[in-house]
């Protein structure tokens, strides 16, 4: 029985509130707010729709639920909360819900300077937010080279007996072993703080004064170090030529639309400096006016996640609910947030700069999308695969001699990588070095809760040969599932372009080296390989860090321990007396090793 819109509309009040549209599977597919629920909902159920997209939405609706609120402001807040919780397919403007990255200066005589994303978990000073990880890491890289503050964890700092690699490459003054005084280290901390506060010129003036003083005292080595620091900073200031002295805390937002793709360009200004740009892309299924999209973005971006709010937001045009949004954002920030529309003077220049960068980003994005779409289509056509396939999930395994094994799963569709859906699997309980078992383990974990219906639209691409192909098929059979599976192995000499594709029935195919389908599969495979290696290195590095953080264990003893027992898993299972028998390791150190591995690995 279809949805009786006329009967439903007779029950809807002429009051502010929120409505939820629900489909046949009882999923909420759209959430909206309205000053008048009756007028807004009536506009959806007219005989002639102005938009094909809106008509498609309405055709899927089997019921509508409404929630009446006292004010429009309450409706706005409730809409934001429901979108965040339910994630309706026609509402989600933002696929990227990551929090902002910060640089954190910890507390203590020898504080560390580290990169952090997410809530403010540790004590210390937070600098940022930065628009993306690249901008934050570039600043961290500069500061490590210039002021050489440590970046290690507290456990490693307290237990080191010799300087680490960061000191050897000139990025740390080695406070862990007492090679720098508290006074000298704190001087570098104060210099770092000035830079992160956007006071670069004041910092250069201070460093120049300190350099002159050091020269007068014939401390030429120190004067040379200060000269190098000034050079680093001046070079950075020249590269970042765009400085806005009046922009203490401003976000500039512009919207650009082309070929059905929406680009939201966010430019962040803090303490007179341009921190950077962030381009957010979305394929939006409904027709909205620009001011409605902008309002939707502001609500989802600033209220949907715990992001730091600026004092001022510059936008291109006024919003219907601008006053309500200002009030809500001000309440969340605890200080005034002002939304400036159609700015003049400096604000006009900021909007023009953001628009210019947004146009460039959108052109690049569209060109990349076209490339992916062509490769995806050619892949299905050349291999004779079902046109129902809408995504590819590619698996790879990475380890070092069977240790720290990690499997990766990357996901692509016709528009390119879906990075939010990437997964890694830490592999345990299989024979070290057994790639088939590791791959089967990841397949079982990935698809144990997936239905056959969901798998019918998915191609499984495996980095490997016939053995890996068979391992995947066996794992799927154990789950009573079937899927299109394709393995891609290196050809003769492991040269790109000579790959062999393994399909069902023992069939093996080689595509021409200039095939768009092959290039697409290579790109997907290489991304899975990169993602697996990245996870493996992080896991291996954590293991190395844990072992070497134990007082009395350095690189040489770590290597001896792993070699003596055959790997980390065997070392974890070893008894205290077994470890104590190793040359140079007594009972006390063996006890510490066992306890550390139990607590941290």
Query: 3-class DSSP state for residue 486?
Result: strand
pLDDT at 243: 47
CA dist 350 and 267 (Å) reads 8
Please tell me the CATH superfamily of domain 391-533, with its number.
Answer: UvrC, RNAse H endonuclease domain (3.30.420.340)
Q: What is the pLDDT of residues 381-408, one digit of tens each?
A: 998 888 889 999 999 999 877 778 999 9
Go through 552-579 and write b for each residue having 16 or more CB atoms within 10 A of its CB, e for each that does not: ebeeebbeebbebbebbbebeebeeeeb
CATH 1.10.150.20 residue window(s) in the chain: 550-600
Q: Give the CA count within 13 Å in the CB-facing half-sphere of 353.
A: 21
Q: What is the pLDDT confidence band of residue 228, given thresholds at 50, 70 and 90?
A: confident
Name residue, tokens 């190793």.
582
DSSP 74-122: HHHHHHHHHHHHH--TTT---S--PPPEEEEE--SSS--EEEEESS--S
Which conformational region is residue 505 in: left (phi greater than 0), alpha (psi within -120 to 50 degrees), or beta? Answer: left
CA dist 330 and 541 (Å) reads 43
CA dist 407 and 438 (Å) reads 7
Q: What is the pLDDT of residues 165-218, one digit of tens each?
A: 888 888 898 999 899 999 989 988 988 888 777 666 777 787 788 788 778 778
Question: Does residue 548 surpass a pLDDT of 80?
Answer: no
CA dist 122 and 160 (Å) reads 22
List, as own/partner pairs, every contact residues 424-427 make where C-beta atoms lie below 8 angstroms and the sequence separation is at least 24, other chains included. Answer: 424/531, 424/532, 424/535, 426/539, 427/397, 427/399
CA dist 561 and 463 (Å) reads 33
pTM of the model: 0.61
Q: What is the pLDDT confidence band of residue 153, given thresholds at 50, 70 and 90?
A: confident
- What's the order of all strands across the beta sheet hosting 63-68? 28-34, 17-22, 63-68
Mean pLDDT, the chain, integer: 84
**Backbone φ and ψ of 407, nearest 5°:** -105, 145
Q: What is the pLDDT of residues 126-144, one digit of tens each?
A: 877 777 777 788 888 888 8
CA dist 308 and 314 (Å) reads 16
CATH 3.30.420.340 residue window(s) in the chain: 249-363, 391-533
Domain 249-363 -> CATH class: alpha beta
Question: Sign of dihedral through CA atoms 480, 482, 483, 484?
Answer: positive
Mean per-residue pLDDT for 320-341?
89
CA dist 526 and 511 (Å) reads 17
Cis-peptide, bond into residue 35, ω within 30° of zero: no
Q: Would you state the structure tokens that stand for residue 240, as one six-digit string? A: 């970042």
CA dist 496 and 398 (Å) reads 20
Beta carbons of 286 and 309 less than 8 angstroms apart? no
Q: What is the pLDDT confidence band of residue 528, given thresholds at 50, 70 and 90?
A: very high
CA dist 150 and 185 (Å) reads 10
Beta carbons of 572 and 436 less than 8 angstroms apart? no
CA dist 421 and 393 (Å) reads 10
Q: Which residues pair with 196 in a beta bridge?
A: none
Question: Does residue 284 surpass a pLDDT of 80?
Answer: no
Question: Sign of dihedral through CA atoms 147, 148, 149, 151?
Answer: positive
Mean per-residue pLDDT for 287-294?
81
User: Structurally, what CATH architecture does the domain formed by 5-86 represent?
Assistant: 3-Layer(aba) Sandwich (3.40)
Q: What is the pLDDT of residues 49-95, one digit of tens each?
A: 656 777 888 888 999 999 999 888 888 888 888 887 888 888 767 65
Q: Please classify residue 506 by burial: count the beta carbons closer than 10 Å to its beta carbon, then call 0-12 exposed, 13-18 middle and 19+ buried.
A: exposed
What kind and span of H or E run contains 351? helix 346-382
CA dist 58 and 320 (Å) reads 24
CA dist 156 and 15 (Å) reads 60
CATH 3.40.1440.10 residue window(s) in the chain: 5-86
- Most confident among 48-52, 223-227, 305-309, 329-333 (mean pLDDT): 329-333
CA dist 573 and 529 (Å) reads 30
CATH 3.30.450.20 fits 550-600, yes or no: no
How many of the other CB atoms lie within 10 Å of CB of 331? 11
The DSSP letter of residue 337 is -
CA dist 465 and 435 (Å) reads 11
192: nearest Cα among 103, 264, 305: 103
């Amino acid at each position: 029985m279809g949805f009786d819109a006329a009967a439903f509309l007779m029950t809807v009040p002429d009051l502010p509130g929120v409505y939820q549209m629900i489909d046949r599977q009882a999923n909420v597919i759209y959430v909206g707010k309205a000053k008048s629920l009756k007028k807004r909902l009536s506009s959806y159920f007219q005989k002639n729709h102005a938009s094909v997209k809106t008509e498609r939405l309405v055709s899927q609706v089997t019921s509508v639920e409404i929630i009446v609120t006292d004010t429009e402001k309450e409706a706005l807040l409730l809409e934001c909360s429901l979108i965040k919780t339910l994630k309706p397919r026609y509402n989600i403007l933002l696929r990227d819900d990551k929090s902002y990255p910060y640089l954190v200066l910890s507390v203590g005589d020898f504080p560390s300077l580290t990169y952090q994303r997410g809530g403010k978990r540790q004590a210390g000073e937070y600098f940022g937010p930065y628009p993306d990880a690249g901008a934050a890491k570039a600043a961290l890289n500069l500061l490590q080279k210039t002021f050489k503050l440590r970046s290690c964890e507290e456990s490693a700092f307290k237990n080191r007996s010799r300087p680490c690699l960061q000191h050897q490459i000139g990025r740390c003054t080695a406070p862990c072993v007492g090679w720098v005084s508290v006074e000298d280290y704190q001087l570098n901390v104060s210099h770092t703080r000035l830079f992160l506060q956007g006071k670069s010129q004041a910092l250069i003036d201070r460093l120049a004064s300190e350099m002159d003083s050091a020269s007068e005292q014939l401390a030429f080595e120190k004067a040379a170090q200060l000269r190098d620091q000034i050079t680093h900073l001046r070079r950075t200031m020249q590269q970042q030529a765009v400085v806005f002295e009046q922009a203490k805390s401003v976000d500039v937002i512009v919207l650009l639309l082309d070929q059905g793709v929406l680009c939201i360009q966010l430019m962040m200004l803090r303490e007179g400096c341009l921190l950077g740009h962030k381009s957010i892309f979305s394929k939006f299924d409904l027709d909205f006016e620009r001011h409605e999209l902008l309002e939707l973005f502001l609500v989802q971006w600033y209220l949907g996640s715990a992001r730091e709010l600026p004092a001022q937001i510059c936008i291109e045009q006024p919003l219907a609910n601008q006053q309500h949004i200002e009030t809500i954002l001000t309440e969340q920030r605890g200080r005034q947030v002002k939304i400036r529309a159609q700015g003049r003077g400096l604000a006009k220049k900021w909007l023009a700069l953001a628009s210019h960068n947004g146009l460039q980003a959108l052109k690049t994005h569209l060109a990349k999308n076209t490339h992916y779409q062509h490769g995806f289509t050619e892949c299905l056509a050349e291999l004779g695969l079902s046109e129902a396939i809408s995504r590819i999930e590619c698996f790879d395994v990475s380890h070092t001699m069977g240790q720290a094994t990690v499997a990766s799963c990357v996901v692509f569709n016709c528009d390119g990588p879906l990075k939010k859906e990437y997964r890694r699997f830490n592999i345990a309980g299989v024979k070290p070095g057994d790639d088939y078992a590791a791959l089967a383990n990841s397949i079982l974990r990935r698809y144990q809760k997936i239905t056959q219906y969901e798998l019918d639209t998915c191609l499984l691409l495996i980095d490997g040969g016939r053995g890996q192909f068979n391992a995947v098929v066996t794992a799927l059979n154990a789950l009573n599932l079937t899927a299109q599976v394709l393995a891609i192995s290196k050809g003769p000499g492991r040269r790109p372009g000579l790959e062999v594709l393994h399909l069902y029935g023992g069939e093996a195919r080689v595509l021409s080296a200039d095939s768009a389908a092959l290039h697409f599969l290579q790109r997907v495979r290489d991304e899975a390989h990169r993602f697996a290696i990245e996870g493996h290195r992080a896991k291996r590095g954590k293991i190395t860090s844990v072992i070497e953080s134990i007082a009395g264990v350095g690189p040489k003893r770590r290597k001896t321990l792993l070699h003596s027992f055959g790997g980390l898993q065997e070392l974890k299972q070893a008894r205290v007396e077994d470890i104590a028998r190793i040359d140079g390791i007594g009972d006390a150190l063996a006890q510490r090793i066992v306890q550390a591995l139990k607590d941290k690995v």
